[in-house]
Amino acid sequence: MESQSQPQPQPQPQPRRPRGFAATAAAAAASVSPTGAPSGSAGASTASSGKGKREREKEKERTKLRERHRRAITSRMLAGLRQYGNFPLPARADMNDVLAALAREAGWTVEPDGTTYRHSPPPQHQQHLGAFSVRSGESPLSATSLKNCSVKATLDCQQPVVRIDGSLSPASLDSVVIAERDTRSEKYPSTSPINSVECLEADQLIQDVHSTEHDNDFTGTQYVPVYVKLSTGVINNFCQLADPDDVRQELSHMNSLNVDGVIVDCWWGIVECWNPQKYVWSGYRELFNYIREFKMKIQVVMAFHEYGRTDSADVLISLPNWILEIGKENQDIFFTDREGRRTTEFLSWGIDKERVLNGRTGVEVYFDFMRSFRTEFDDLFAEGLISAVEIGLGPSGELRYPSFSERMGWRYPGIGEFQCYDKYLQQHLRKAAKLRGHSFWARGPDNAGHYNSRPHETGFFCERGDYDSYYGRFFLHWYAQALMDHADNVLSLANLAFEETKIIVKIPAVYWWYKTSSHAAELTAGYNNPTNQDGYSPVFEVLKKHSVTVKFVCYGLQICSYENDEAFADPEGLSWQVLNSAWDRGLKVAGENTLSCYDREGCLRIIETAKPRNDPDRRHFSFFVYQQPSPLVQGVICLPDLDYFIKCMHAGDITGDLVP
């Protein structure tokens, strides 16, 4: 009788080691005694548990932000491959799709299951050389240039192993593939593709893969006029020219640099300082006469905001005194935060159509000021000396809310606060909520944090926060609509005052927290631009209606060095969105630099932004404004070589001026 086989014991599966939050929970459970009592005191255990929970929540939020950052980078890479490389990538492509597309571009066959192979053996001369060239956006290696290269005899009798060096940049991945040496041979231990061909020196390969011979040559590109902004203190608070000799010297210096024109701020707080509708333009008349002698164009700024209420400011220009007197009796003419604190940087948009300024509305006050300027300097408009007028639509002359007030304690990179708690804007909010059918929505969010909060510290701006709820979407739409209504109202009257004159509007560059889902800083500034919608298109539709030129701030490279990604900032991503959104709507675009100093590399970055060479439509800035914190005559020139910068913008021959 056959012996029955005994059943073999089945191996027990090894328990999985807990990781992440599970590991933390397991460690916490292990610290409890068998009787169920904590090993330490109850108070200490509770405090430790609460602290650990908060840390876990913070780490969870940081992990989400990092993952969103990675997805944003991947999205931009895919967009670039589609736009500039003509890669037919699917809408929801991943890295496997990218690798397959690159392999097919290089001549390989990629099956749906991922199997990758060469469809046919390479030509004999390429087998021996182990190299071939394909399409490149820069300067591709040609097969002819590699034919005459000598290769070690050992390679002639070996089957070439083809590899793509992972150290090459994405732009060069489809430029060159070089045979790898046999790593089994001690004679050729190196696996670097640079060393696989003797005649290709390292500098030669770098020059072929990423040619920079003409990177800094802007000869033949579009001509972009350059304007230099005069320092703020050139006109004092009594509307007098502060120092005529310095002004002459500075204008002479600009003229020697072939500057196209100057930017002059016309301050409401100086011209109409003491009494309503009593305008004093004498200092500006004298200044314009000096500029006329040097035959430079003038762009004027209708500056309706205050200037200099910071610790570092050496000049203070407030709103007109008669406005401040009205504000003492009626503080609701100013923007107000949730705690009821007022900012006098700019008048609230809630009074644009309220007759609270000695019988005039806000827009009527702006119109009377603009009409007075147009009448006073009619001769300069007639002869074309004044070429454009910029309309100040908010703090710092930018179209935004004063949500980042340093006087209120804001410091970068705080998210800022909503500025809609004066009684006039609150009336508008109640009306909008009633029309929507939800009167209880007539309130600002109570969980939006404070000026220096981070998005993940608030219930409104965090991942899946209330900003994306029904109420949140309603409030943010109303908040942004109030900004657009203000621009529409003021620009309608500006076109009436300055008919047939170019009108300019300055758009802010709120780049911090751009890589988060809520874009919290942009939301408090009035731009409803979270990741699930475009907040700039509606604004530009309003500006297109008035045929304005959009002026946007450009950044150099130095901004990325001190961000350290703690604020999830992305100035380049923001610039890409704003500039292309404006261009796509047929708006003219101009640029302006920050007051920070730039090195030569940052200078070139600005020029590439002003007239991108890879734009198929050859779109470019209509002009560029250079500003610095002090006059040129004092020698504090932030761009290391302003003459070089202007020549690049003017598309002149600057090859002899390049610095190694």
Per-residue pLDDT tens over the stretch 316-371:
999 999 999 999 999 999 999 999 999 999 999 999 999 999 999 999 999 999 99
How many domains does the structure of the chain reveal? Answer: 2
86 and 230, same structural domain? no
pLDDT at 270: 97
Tracing tokens 């895919």 back to the chain, one arrives at 78
Q: By residue range, what is the domain housing residue 341?
A: 226-543+567-579+629-647
Cis? peptide before 413, omega within 30° of 0 = yes
98 and 239, same structural domain? no
pLDDT for residue 155 is more than 60: no
**Residue 386 lies inside a defined structural domain of this protein:** yes
Query: Does residue 97 contact residue 88 with C-beta atoms inside 8 Å?
Result: no
pLDDT for residue 490 is more than 60: yes
Mean of the pLDDT values across residues 99-120? 78
**Residue 85 lies inside a defined structural domain of this protein:** yes
**Ramachandran angles phi, psi of 285, nearest 5°:** -60, -45
Query: Does residue 623 contact residue 226 with C-beta atoms inside 8 Å?
Result: yes
**Residue 523 lies inside a defined structural domain of this protein:** yes
Catalytic residue among 345, 390, 398, 417: 398
Structure tokens at 393: 């639509």
Residue 474 CA to residue 433 CA, distance in Å, equals: 8
Percent of the chain with pLDDT over 90: 52
CA end-to-end span of the chain, whole Å? 95
Our answer to whether residue 592 is catalytic in this structure is yes
- Residue 651's pLDDT band, with cuts at 50, 70 and 90, is confident
221, 261, 289 from 228: Cα distances, Å? 21, 7, 17
pLDDT for residue 292 is more than 80: yes
**Residue 189 lies inside a defined structural domain of this protein:** no
**Residue 372 lies inside a defined structural domain of this protein:** yes
pLDDT at 97: 80
Lowest mean pLDDT among 66-80, 285-299, 405-419, 618-632: 66-80
What are the DSSP calls for 429-497, one per residue?
HHHHHHHHT-GGG-S--SSS--TT--GGGSTTTSTT-GGGSHHHHHHHHHHHHHHHHHHHHHHHHHHHH
Q: Which of 55, 85, 104 is the last residue of a domain?
A: 104
Query: Does residue 451 contact residue 605 with C-beta atoms inside 8 Å?
Result: no
Structure tokens at 432: 């909008």
Query: Does residue 587 contact residue 544 with C-beta atoms inside 8 Å?
Result: yes
pLDDT at 11: 53
Percent of the chain with pLDDT over 70: 70
Lowest mean pLDDT among 13-22, 158-167, 482-491: 158-167
- Alpha carbon dihedral 389, 394, 397, 402, in 10-degree steps, equals -170
The domain spanning residue 487 has which CATH number? 3.20.20.80
Mean of the pLDDT values across residues 439-467? 96
395 and 258, same structural domain? yes
Residue 503 CA to residue 152 CA, distance in Å, equals: 68
Q: Which of 104, 134, 162 is the last residue of a domain?
A: 104
Highest mean pLDDT among 75-79, 162-166, 433-437: 433-437
Query: Does residue 504 contact residue 548 with C-beta atoms inside 8 Å?
Result: yes
**Residue 188 lies inside a defined structural domain of this protein:** no
Mean of the pLDDT values across residues 519-545? 96
pLDDT at 518: 96
* pTM score over 0.85: no
pLDDT in tens, 376-421: 999 999 999 999 999 999 999 999 999 999 999 999 999 999 999 9
Structure tokens at 629: 């914190």
Mean of the pLDDT values across residues 448-471? 96
Residue 483 CA to residue 394 CA, distance in Å, equals: 9
pLDDT in tens, 24-72: 555 555 554 444 444 445 555 566 677 777 778 778 777 877 777 777 7
pLDDT at 80: 73
- Residue 635's pLDDT band, with cuts at 50, 70 and 90, is low
The better pLDDT of the pair 381, 562 is held by 381
Mean of the pLDDT values across residues 131-150? 38
The better pLDDT of the pair 123, 659 is held by 123
From the list 587, 588, 572, 556, the residue with the least C-alpha distance to 224 is 588
Mean of the pLDDT values across residues 269-281? 96
**Residue 10 lies inside a defined structural domain of this protein:** no
**Residue 234 lies inside a defined structural domain of this protein:** yes
Catalytic residue among 306, 345, 522, 592: 592
The better pLDDT of the pair 74, 123 is held by 74
Burial 264-303 (b: 16+ CB within 10 A, else e): bbbbbbbbbbeebeebebebbeebbebbeeeebbbbbbbb
Contacts of 473 (CB under 8 A, 6+ apart): 467
Our answer to whether residue 398 is catalytic in this structure is yes
Q: Which of 74, 104, 134 is the last residue of a domain?
A: 104
268 and 413, same structural domain? yes
Mean predicted lDDT score pLDDT of the chain = 78
